[in-house]
A and B are shown apart, each in its own frame.
Chain A
Amino acid sequence: MDDVAAWFLALYKTTGIKLTIFYDGYDRNRFLEGLVTTVKLSAYCLVGSLVLGALVAMLQGARTAAVRRTASAYVELFRNTPPLVQLYFFYFALGPLLPKVDGAPLLGSFGWAVVSLTLLETAFAAEIYRAGIEAVPKEMVEAAASLGFSRMQVYRQVVFPLALRASLPAMTNNLVNLVKTTTLAYAIAVPELVYMSAQIWSEQVNVPEMMIVLLVCYVAMVGAINQLMQWLEARLRVPGFGQ
């Protein structure tokens, strides 16, 4: 660790390439904190959107027209408006309406980012599940129903497991998009990776270096997600489907 720090310090002294995050403890901690916040933000939104997305997809296939339409309206609304404006709407417009607990707002900028991005991703996840559900052969649903499965049982034990597998590739894309979208939280001062990097580059005046570190970080995260999802796809594969 010390060798790495020494090497980057030497790099700065000889070439002027200033990567403070490798040898300055304060900057390194800030940067890592930002990375952790980004990962946390992504993870919360991912879990939230997977659960809510399944719910919304189910509502979109409900028997009552009003329920179906409301679910669809929600999906269309969030898919067809700018995510940044949604975030501002939640943070600046709805934020002040929340009651305060001990003088502090109930939800801080991180909390609102989670809410806003989860609702956005839920809309995308719902569409993906829906496509996955449509990919389940009708005959299979009929067969399950004829075996006496209830509507709920059919959904949980037949449709959902197959739909999940059919939607995995699209889910990978969506997850990548989610990680990229968390950068928006910068706009409401959530201390995530971009925000922390911006602080570092404005203090150390090393914009080009930090930019490259930032881009490499995101490309690496996306690469890791792709690998993980490929593994998951291979793991969950059911014989007899796909190629």
Chain B
Amino acid sequence: MSAGRPSFAAPPREGNGLLSAQTGAALAAIFVASVAVAQIQAPLAKPSVLELLAKWTPLLATGFVFNLLISFFAMAVGTVAGLLLGFARISLLRPVSGVSWVVVQFFRNSPWLVLLFFVMYLLPFQFRVGDMTIPFPDWIKATLGLALPIMANVAEIVRGAVQSIPTAQWDAARSLAFSRRQTLWKIILPQCVKRMLPPWMNWYAILTMATTLASIVGVSEVMTITLRITNAEGRTDLLIPIYSYVLLWFFLYCYPISRWTRRLEARYA
């Protein structure tokens, strides 16, 4: 593009490394805020804010690992259920595709928090199978609650990917005497995997961020722990640093995923 020509499209993003200029700037923004406050108020307070952060880091880390654990399980459950629902969505049987459409719309359009409440309140806290009582802890319920919207969105991803394959391929497969099932499994779906990967990863990142919702329904994940720490310490100067600290952790986890997703999208587009 020659100089001086008006262009409103943003230039291609500079640098493809993890620590690009934007990331650096974003991280700096968080740090400047927290460190500045810590510096201003540290001389007066006994244990400095940085010491407090160091002291609570292991506990926060266990909470964060718990968030990741919930995100893995919810993604696994949501993906498996979503694939099944997605196949139902592209079924040629009217009742099957109709019912699955309703299910997908319902779970895609309901707020995550409300679905979470739904599962938390309406599922029992233990199951009875014969003489055995199987406990059904909060975090598993939260995982199921978070898996529901993932399920509906994965189903949409499947449908979208299948629809993005040219109709000519279906016709060609039929003229070669492939059955519908064979066409789907051997010709269409292998091509879909590539197209489904970026949006699927995108949903994983969204899910990871949504795991903090579990704190609202009483699961002891990183946000619950943060609230407890701030209550226990009772230090107002700790508030900004500790919240930006938690934000930073999520950013460091989710940003590379979103970068990677964008790269895959660009490659497969």
**A18-26, A64-72, A227-235 - interface stretch:** A64-72
- A184 CB within 8 Å of chain B: yes
A89 touches B247 (CB 8 A): yes
Q: Do residues B209 and A77 form an inter-chain contact, with CB atoms below 8 A?
A: no
By beta carbon, the residue of chain A nearest B109 is A222
Closest to B211 in A: A82
Check B114 against A76 for contact (C-beta < 8 Å). no
Q: Which of B9, B22, B118 is within 8 Å of A69, CB to CB?
A: B22
> Is A133 an interface residue when CB atoms closer than 8 A count as contact?
yes
Taking a contact as CB atoms closer than 8 A, the residue among B109, B112, B205 that contacts A80 in the complex is B205
Chain A residue numbers with a CB within 8 Å of B236 are 96
Q: Which of A66-101 contact B (CB under 8 A)?
A: 68-70, 72-74, 76-77, 79-86, 88-89, 92-94, 96
B157 at the A interface (CB under 8 A): no
* Residue A211 CB within 8 A of the other chain: yes
Residue numbers in B under 8 Å from A88 (CB-CB):
223, 226-227, 243
Complex interface: chain A residues within 8 A of B226 (CB): 88
| Bound CA–CA A77/B209 (angstroms) | 12
B215 interface contact, C-beta 8 A: yes
* Complexed CA–CA distance, A117 and B105 (Å): 24
A218 to B212, CA, bound (A): 21
Binds A, one of B76-84, B168-176, B178-186, B249-257: B249-257
Shortest Cβ distance from residue A88 to the other chain B in the assembled complex, whole angstroms: 6
Residues of A within 8 A of B (CB-CB), count: 57
**What number of B residues sit within 8 Å (CB to CB) of A?**
54
CB pair B9 A73 closer than 8 Å: no
Q: In the complex, which of the residues B10, B26, B212 contacts A68, with contact meaning CB atoms closer than 8 Å?
A: B10
| Minimum Cβ distance to chain A for residue B56 (Å) | 15
- Say yes or no: B29 contacts A69, CB within 8 Å: no
Q: Is the CB of B6 within 8 A of A145?
A: yes
Does the CB pair A81–B250 fall under 8 Å? yes
Residues of A near B22 (CB, < 8 A) are: 69, 72-73, 76
Does B59 interact with chain A (Cβ within 8 Å)?
no
Q: Is A130 an interface residue (CB 8 A)?
A: yes
Cα A186 to Cα B205 in complex, Å, equals: 23
B105→A219 contact, CB < 8 A: yes
Identify which of residues 42-69 in chain A touch chain B, using a CB-to-CB cut-off of 8 Å: 58, 60-61, 68-69
The stretch from A4-12, A29-37, A103-111, A135-143 touching chain B is A135-143
